[in-house]
A and B are shown apart, each in its own frame.
Chain A
């Protein structure tokens, strides 16, 4: 099970985070201060670290630096009440992979953790299933009733992103940036890809890709539509 080191000095905040993580299928490893955190980091080798900044014995930024020195790969999310842009910049500079400000939305936290773990090629929630449609991130393919849909890599990534957050609308720019790298002025590419996916998923009755005029695209579950 995937261990997540939770470094937070406030009792109820720490307890809340641990419960939320446990419910999401992770194994929370709580730490009250930096010393405890460092020792647990060495013994437990967590898959990800959630680090608060305002700690009693050492600044969370320095703690992040320490973790980075000990392991260059482990994903670290800084969670803190400080929200000035300079603090965010500093957080990234010392090696954090993501930065969240309190109060943290629990759902968002779990989604970000999953995204980071996925990117770190940790095999977690690499599979999505909607009725007869199954997507496997490690294999980069989608199957309908077990039969491969023959999606190209870009088509798969696009579909996976939309299906990871069903119902959420993503702007064209966001999708172009994440999947193609740059904000290509020609978002005709995006339209073409969405249509191709629709064609290849013809026969799927559980989900649908919808375009929201002016705003972007979203994936919706068909039986939940009104």
Chain B
């Protein structure tokens, strides 16, 4: 009786499988399972139909009773054996595969990310193996990114800190003229500001790496741009820059915080790379499908080389001191545009200026 139970168990558990498995494109697996299931059903069912078969055969072929019995017994034993073999195979495969998966998962737990199970397993274990391999690859990448971040950041941090310490020591030593002291102190202040910007930008950019959940809502993109322009009021008033920012009120459905940061970074660049007394044009246009923002400066512009690298982290196009930045502004812009699904277009010509176009899709 237990043998029959064993077969039935196998049959039933396999019958359940096609219903439970997710609708993926792996039809091969589904078909394989189906065939497998059919064999088991047949093996089990064959036993049930045996008396019927026996009766039919004995009627048709006029077997004498003893021979019929042997024949029936033979069929009976074959189906048991078949069922058992199938069950055993399945069990054996499962154990081997399960062990492989367990070993790989254990490796990952202990920091060894060099595993590859993509081609070693089959059946329902194939999927698990693939996912586990992907997890290991991702963890390896995350580790590398973490190390790169620490290295880059520490490196960028050193320069302003060394300046601050240097000038502070000079002042502490004494014997400086009033002008010198004032100059050194102002350098300390500006280098400190640079450090603060670097920290804030790096943290912001790091927050955006990888997939993140964002909240979206309706807001006036026109008002947001105006406010962003005014955040930089000190910077552009100092350079006597004039903003042409007359536009209607347009609304978009997006994330306010990130959108604001994007505009701030683009505007900051426009101000930074404009000449004294220059102007910056900001236009906002919209229809029921798109809202298009265009920020144009008439400053130093970019060479083809600079343009090709402008979104790289820590890349600074202009090495002169007056326009020093940390190189993260546009990298952040690009990342935000990716996250918010905005289209970015840049047009630039050396000595003529640069124009950034940002397009919001209205859903």
Contact = CB atoms under 8 A, between A and B. Distances in A.
B247 A171 contact: no
Interface of B: 196, 220, 223, 226-227, 229-230, 233, 243-247, 257, 282
A67 B257 CA distance: 30
Nearest to B247: A214
5 contacts: A169-B233, A170-B230, A214-B226, A215-B243, A216-B226
B196 A214 contact: no
A180 B210 CA distance: 43
Interface string A193-226: 0000000000000000000011110000000000
A85 B227 CA distance: 19
A171 B196 contact: no
A62 interface: no
Given A85-B257, A103-B196, A215 B245 contact: yes
Interface string A165-180: 0001111011000000
B230 A215 contact: yes
Contact of B230 (A85, A103, A171): A171
* Contact count band on A: 10 to 19
Interface of A: 85, 103, 168-171, 173-174, 213-216
B245 A171 contact: no
Nearest to B215: A85
Contact of A214 (B220, B227, B233, B245): B245
B243 A171 contact: no
B225 to A, nearest CB: 10
B163 to A, nearest CB: 18
B196 A215 contact: no
Nearest to A226: B240
Contacts of A168: 230, 233
A85 B245 CA distance: 29
Nearest to B244: A214
B244 A171 contact: no
Contacts of A214: 226, 243-247, 282
Contacts of B257: 85
A85 B229 CA distance: 22
Contacts of A171: 223, 226-227, 230
